[in-house]
Amino acid sequence: MESQSSEDLRKPKSPGKKNLFWRRLRGWWERTGWTLPLHAGLLFFGFLNIYPFLWMASTSLKTGSEAKSEKEILVPGLKYNLVAEAEPVYWDERDLHERQEEILEILWSEDERRRSFNETFVPYRVTPREYAVQFGMRDEEGNRNIATAREELEELREMGIVSTKRWQTENYRVVWTDLRFYLHTLTSFVITVAVVVITVLTSSMLGYALAKFQFPGKMLVFGLLILGAVAPREAVIIPIFHMIQSLRLMEGLWGMVLWLSAISIGNTFLMAGYFLTIPKEVEESAAVDGAGPLRTFFTISLPMAKPIVMTVGLFAFLNAWNDFLIPLLCTMAMPDMQPLAVAIYSFRGAHQDDWHLTSSAAAIMVVPVILIFLFCQRQIVNSIAVGAVKG
């Protein structure tokens, strides 16, 4: 008969509760390592990065006062429901003359009602009952009447004073039509296309010449290009302004196009670098087959350089679409022909506090860039890895 001690050493000890927890934790750590913290960190920073866009998108769908409120809420219309506020009527200064009477009528007729209403927006989701409690008309006995409140609410909605939508997509309509943003988008588009075409043509031809030919003054051209690419734009803004002014380029869109093409000229190096990697046998083959230098360039070399052409086109597009300073200088006197970046800037006057309108305009400006990014994502990442050009 075996002796039985109080501790039976043959049986495995069952771990206590605390030990089990740590053991499980260590097991998990050994299985996954840094994965969870890493992903959590990446998600967090990703969120931080994307937050401005989310803010912009949601603000563009809020009403004016909702946008201005101190409570930062990313989902529009979450707490603002039936009774939001009266929608003011927007007009553009350029239309002042044509719509003068109409505007005055609005101002004078609606004003009182609007004013009083604007001050009493309801910050929470409200039901007709709550509305009645807070704003309802009192009946003869001094009690607030729910039925009347509903009718009143309905009336206000029909008058267009009250918005019953969660997401105010009308902001876009206002910005596009009333504030004439279709003009600005068109202008931006036309300018950008022109800039992309000019930039791709000139930088590809210049890059090709630099890569393939020897000519007197080649080093000088190189030096000038590098100088232009390296000099910080802000440092030379005064002489540039002077140049634009004296060349009378401010009096039209072409000045802007020229300038925007010029700042993309650093792409020439990308082109030259790529053309150097095209095997010269292919071009020699074209020469032996009877193609002169120009024909070889357009039928053989340029199509072979498609990736880098797309990269340069992309950079040129972004520069032209987003540039602000020189277009501002060039189009100060022509509010109709301002590209988007400048047009949004002019919100600072009449509509400075209208965050919802500003956001909508900014969203309009950003949408093409996002679309391009979605479609050309891989190309863009490759370009940035290969190109290493600022911008």
Partner 1 sequence: MATIELENIRKVYPGNTVAVQDLNLQIADGEFLVMVGPSGCGKSTALRMIAGLEKISGGELRIDGEVVNDLSPQRRNISMVFQNYALYPHMSVRANLEFPLKMRNMSKGEITTKVNELARLLSLQDLLHRKPKALSGGQRQRVAMGRALVRDPVAFLMDEPLSNLDAKLRVQMRAEIGALQRKTKTTTVYVTHDQVEAMTMGERVAVMRGGILQQVAPPQELYEKPANIFVAAFIGSPSMNLFRGRLERQDQGFSLVLRDLRLEIDRSVLERYPSLPEYVGKEIVLGFRPEAVRMSEDLPGAVELEVVPETVEALGHEKMIYFSFPGEAVRVDVEPSEEEESKEVLTSLAVGRLPGEVNPQMGESLRLSLDSRKFYFFEDSSGMAL
CB 291, min distance to partner 1, A: 5
User: Least CB distance from residue 308 to partner 1, whole Å?
Assistant: 13
- CA angle in degrees (0–180, nearest 5) for 109-111-116: 135
The site for partner 1, by CB under 8 A, has a size of 18
Residue 60 phi, psi dihedral angles, 5° rounding: -70, -10
What does the block give as tokens for 384?
A: 């940035």
Number of Cβ within a 10 Å radius of residue 71: 9
d(CA 70, CA 119): 15
CA distance 358 to 187: 19
Under a CB-based contact definition with an 8 Å cutoff, are residues 316 and 196 in contact?
yes
- Smallest distance, partner 1 to C-beta of residue 295, A: 7
- Binding of partner 1 at residue 300 (CB under 8 A)? yes
Tell me if 257 sits within 8 A of 192, measured CB to CB.
Answer: no
Based on the shown chain and the rule CB under 8 A, indicate whether residue 220 belongs to the binding site for partner 1.
Answer: no
Stretch that binds partner 1, among 16-24, 28-36, 269-277, 302-310 (CB under 8 A): 302-310
258-297 residues in contact with partner 1 (CB under 8 A) are: 279, 281-282, 284-292, 295
Q: Cβ closer to partner 1: 296 or 322?
A: 296
Residue 374 vs residues 55, 319, 332: alpha-carbon distances, Å: 20, 18, 33
Q: In the complex with partner 1, which residue's Cβ is closer, 286 or 318? A: 286
Q: Decide whether 168 or 301 has the Cβ nearer to partner 1.
A: 301
Instruction: Tell which positions 303-342 bind partner 1, by CB under 8 A.
Output: 303-304, 306
* Closer to partner 1 by Cβ: residue 112 or 289: 289
User: Is residue 23 a contact residue for partner 1 (CB under 8 A)?
Assistant: no
The Cα 298–Cα 289 span in angstroms is 15
Interface residues toward partner 1, by CB under 8 A: 279, 281-282, 284-292, 295, 299-300, 303-304, 306
